[in-house]
Copies of this chain bind each other. A is one copy, B any other.
Amino acid sequence: MRIAFVIYDRMTALDFIGVYDPLTRLRTMDLLPDVTWEICAYTPEVRDIAGLRFVPTRVGESLGDYDLVVVPGGFGTRELAEDAGFLAWLRTAAPCPRKVSVCSGARLLGRAGFLAGKRATTHPDAFEELRPDCGALVEDQRVVEDGDIVTARGVTAAIDLGLYLVERIVGHAIQERIRRQMDYPYGA
């Protein structure tokens, strides 16, 4: 089980870390010891919208070999949605059986061509934009799964997405153990 956490300039850190926490607990809590992950960027220098530096472990390498690719949202999506180089890099994730996004990260999946005809969600402020831009069928739910695509609503829905993915990967009982350790009484 190999996970790629995509990071980029001017992302929202909580979109990333909210999914990263429950998924990486699969290993840190010894629940699925063979899970591994990389922090994947298209450019070597990454800071979130508030200036916090993040350090990728892979830069510009193909995303094609991962079981799960996680794309956060944030202000940086506005530029990246028009960045042909970044979108070509993101398209290398096409063979991955699960491509997931948080918040406006859905727009990047969409601009990479992954959302055509798919049910998907994003931040409520971006519902209208996602439809014409990407051919997605927008649904107002916390987490939406459609085939190889799983999308989450705004920022904090990252946590709900992470727990949802844990349950899909290892089942309800382990998801409940992780949820308890995260002290998260909310959501599904």
Q: Chain A: interface residue count, which band? A: 20 to 34
Docked complex: A103-144 residues within 8 A CB-CB of B? 103, 123-124
* Residues of B close to A157: CB separation below 8 A: 183
A27: chain B residues at CB < 8 Å are: 50
Q: Which residue of B lies closest to A15 (CB)?
A: B21
Copies in the complex: 2
Cβ contact of A14, chosen from B17, B37, B52, cutoff 8 A: B17
11 A-B residue pairs with CB within 8 Å: A12-B21, A13-B21, A14-B17, A24-B49, A24-B50, A37-B50, A39-B52, A52-B54, A53-B54, A55-B55, A155-B182
Given A55-B55, A154-B184, A156-B184; 19 other pairs, CB 8 A cutoff: A14-B17, A14-B18, A14-B20, A14-B159, A17-B17, A17-B18, A20-B50, A24-B50, A28-B50, A39-B52, A53-B54, A53-B55, A103-B183, A123-B183, A124-B183, A156-B159, A156-B182, A156-B186, A186-B187
